[in-house]
Amino acid sequence: MMKRKSTRRDMQPEVEERGHWGNKVEFLLAVAGNVVGLGNVWRFPYLCYKNGGGAFLVPYLVFVVTCGVPLFLLETTIGQFTQEGGITCWRKLCPLAEGIGFGGQLILFYSCMTYIIILSWALLYLVFSFSSQLPWASCNNDWNTEGCVDFSTKNNTVHWTNQTNSTSAATEFWERRVLMISGGIEEIGSIQWEVLLCLIAMWIVCYFCIWKGVRSTGKVVYVTATFPYVMLLILLIRGLSLPGAFEGVMFYLLPEPSRLIDPQVWMEAASQIFFSYSIGVGSLTVLGSYNKYNNNCYKDSLMLCLLNSGTSVVAGFAVFSVLGFMAHEQGVPIAEVSFLIILIILLFETLALGWIFGVDKLYDIIKDMTGTRANYFFKLCWLYLTPLVSLGSFICSLIEYQPLTFNRWYIYPSWAYVLGWILALSSILLVPGCALYKLGTGTGTLSQRFHHLCQPNLENLENQKSETELETIRELLQ
C-alpha cells in the first residue's frame, strides 16, 4: 500500500504539468475554433449549391442527429474521463482498439499537411490585397492569356457568355500565377518561392500557438476562434446588401426535392458532418481531456454542435448572397456560376465503445461527471444508428466511387491512384494491425488475451487518481 502511494506521488508532478483549461470559456473557444472553419464557410455552401439548395439540409440534419452530435459527445466524454489524448485514452478504455487512436492521428497528420497549404495561399492573397491594383481583377498581367475576361467592363461580360474557352481574371491569377499548374502530376514544376515563404510563416505561427501546450493555446483561441465570426458577420452584411443578393438567398433556401433520391446527396451530407464536426480523429478527445473531471461535457457538446451547424447555415446566407451578386453582374442564372476513411474509423470507434466497452458504462460515466443523465436516444445511436449509418455510407461510397479528376478533364496516371489508395488505407489498416499485434504478443491463450484486451486498464489510472476517485471509477467500469 505504501509503495502504491509513493508511486502516485512520484507521478503527480507529471499530471500537474499537463494542466487544465484556465476556465470554461477557453475550452469552448478551443473546440469552436477546431470544428468551425473551412468546412462551414466553404464546403457546406458549396455542397448546398451542388445538391439542390435547401434540399441538402434534409440529409444534413438527419446525419447531425444520428452521427454528428452522438459522436461529438462520445469523444469529448472519453477525453474528459480518461484525461488522456487520442491514443492513450484507448489504452485505458479498450486496449484492443488502440489502433483507432493511431489511425486518427495519421488522418490528422494528412489533414494538417493540407490545411497548412491552404493557409499559406490565404496569406499570399492577403499580402497581394494590399497592392493598389488587385492582380486578380484585370487581364493586364504577364500571366494572363488571350481568353482572359475582365468583369469590370460590360463588353467583356458579353464576351464571357459567348466564349466557351474564356476564363476569368481571378481564375487565371489562381491557376497561372499562384499555382503555376503544370501539364500533369508527373511534371513537378518549379518552386513557388512566395508560396514557400508563406508556408514557412504559417508553420511558425502554428508553433507559437501551441508551444506551451494548453497554457498558450487557451489564450490564442480568444483571437483565432472569435475573429472568423467577426469576418463572417462582415461578409454576411456586405453580401446581403449587394444587388442580386435576394435571388442568391432564394436559390439557397428553395429546395429541389428531386435531388433527395440521389444517393450521392446523402453521402456528401454524411461526409460533411464527419468533416466539419472533426470526429473520428481524436482532436475532440484531446481538447476534452484538459477539462476538469466534473465539467458538464454533456451540455457543452450539445451547445457546440448547435453552434457548428448554425455557423454553416449562416455562412450559406453569406456565400449565396455573393453568388447572387455574381450572377446579377454576369447576366447568367445562379446555377451557372462557377470521405471514405473518417467512416471506417467511426465505425470501429462506435463498435469499440458502444459494444465492447459498454454503452451503459458510458451513461454512468456521463452521469458521474456531469450530474446529468444523457438522453436515451444517444444509447440508440451509439449501439445501432451510428454504426449502421457509417457502414451504409461506406458501402454506398464504394458503389458510387469514381476516380478523382482535376478540373473535370485531367485524368491522373495509374500510379497516382495507387499512391492515393495506399495513403487512404494506411490509417484504416492501423486498427486491425494494432489489434493483431497485441493479440499476438500477449500472454495466455488467445481467448484470455482477447478478453484481457477488451477490459478497461485500471493500472494506468491508479497513478493519477485519489483513492476516492479510484473507488468511484472501479464501480463505473464494473
Mean pLDDT of the chain, nearest integer: 84
Residue 323 has which C-alpha cell?
A: 453568388
CB-count burial class (<10 Å; 0-12, 13-18, 19+) for 281: buried
Amino acid at 164: T
Cα dihedral sign for 239, 242, 244, 245?
positive
Greater pLDDT, 434 or 149: 434
Q: What 3-state DSSP class applies to 159?
A: helix
- Whether the per-residue pLDDT at 386 is higher than 60: the answer is yes
Within 13 Å of residue 411, how many CA atoms lie on the same side as its CB? 3
Distance CA 318, CA 434 (A): 45
Q: How many CA atoms lie within 13 A of 414 on its CB side?
A: 0
pLDDT higher than 80, residue 18: no
User: E-assigned strands of 92-220?
Assistant: 148-149, 167-168
Q: What is the pLDDT of residue 237?
A: 92
In a 13 Å sphere around the CA of 417, the CA atoms on its Cβ side amount to: 11
Q: Are strands 405-406 and 410-411 parallel, antiparallel or unpaired?
A: antiparallel
Q: Of 16-20, 31-35, 115-119, 335-339, give the lowest mean pLDDT range.
A: 335-339
Place of cell 481574371: 169
What is the per-residue pLDDT for 470?
66
Is a pLDDT exceeding 80 seen at residue 476? no
Does residue 457 come out as left (phi exceeding 0), alpha (psi in the -120 to 50 range) or beta? beta
Kind and range of the H or E run holding 450: helix 446-453
pTM: 0.86
Residue 100: its pLDDT value, please? 94
pLDDT tens digit string along 262-290? 888 888 888 888 888 989 889 999 999 99
| Residue pair 83/16 in contact by the 8 Å Cβ criterion | no
Residue with cell 484504416: 428
More confident residue, 339 or 155: 339
Rounded Cα gap, residues 208 and 107, in angstroms: 23
pLDDT value at position 7? Answer: 40
Is residue 314 within 8 Å of residue 236, measured between CB atoms? yes
Percent of the chain with pLDDT over 70: 87
Cα gap 161→453, rounded to integer Å:
65
Cell representation of residue 19: 494542466
**Phi–psi pair at 138, nearest 5 degrees:** -145, 170
Q: Residue 202: its pLDDT value, please?
A: 95
Q: What is the pLDDT of residues 314-336, one digit of tens each?
A: 988 888 888 777 776 666 554 54
Cell of 229: 465570426
pLDDT band for position 434 (50/70/90)?
A: very high
C-alpha cell at 357: 466497452
| pLDDT over 70 (residue 174) | yes
Q: Mind listing the pLDDT tens digit for each residue in 229-268?
A: 888 899 889 988 888 888 888 888 777 888 888 888 888 8
| Pairing outcome for strands 167-168 and 410-411 | unpaired
Cα end-to-end span (Å), the chain: 22
Q: Which residues are registered as beta bridge partners of 249?
A: none
Residue with grid cell 481564375, as numbered in its chain: 171
pLDDT in tens, 66-92: 999 999 999 999 999 988 889 999 988
391: its cell numbers: 457502414
Other beta carbons within 10 angstroms of residue 311's beta carbon come to 22
Contact 412, 186 (CB under 8 A): no
- The C-alpha cell 452521427 sits at 67
**Is residue 9 scored above 50 in pLDDT?**
no
Residue written as grid cell 499562384: 178
**Residue 411 three-state SS:** strand
CA angle at 358 for the pair 357 and 362, rounded to the nearest 5°: 100
Contacts of 51 (CB under 8 A, 6+ apart): 259, 262, 264, 265, 268, 269
- For residue 165 the three cell numbers come to 474557352
Which residues make Cβ contacts (< 8 Å) with residue 140, sequence separation at least 6? none
Residue 249, CA atoms < 13 Å, CB-side half-sphere: 16
- Burial, 222: exposed, middle or buried (Cβ in 10 Å; 0-12, 13-18, 19+)? middle
- Nearest alpha carbon to residue 296 among 15, 7, 27: 27
Share of the chain above pLDDT 90, in %: 37
CA-based torsion, 115, 176, 323, 240: positive or negative? positive
CB atoms within 10 A of CB 208: 10
Comparing 460 with 447, the larger pLDDT belongs to 447
Q: Is the pLDDT at 377 greater than 90, yes or no?
A: yes
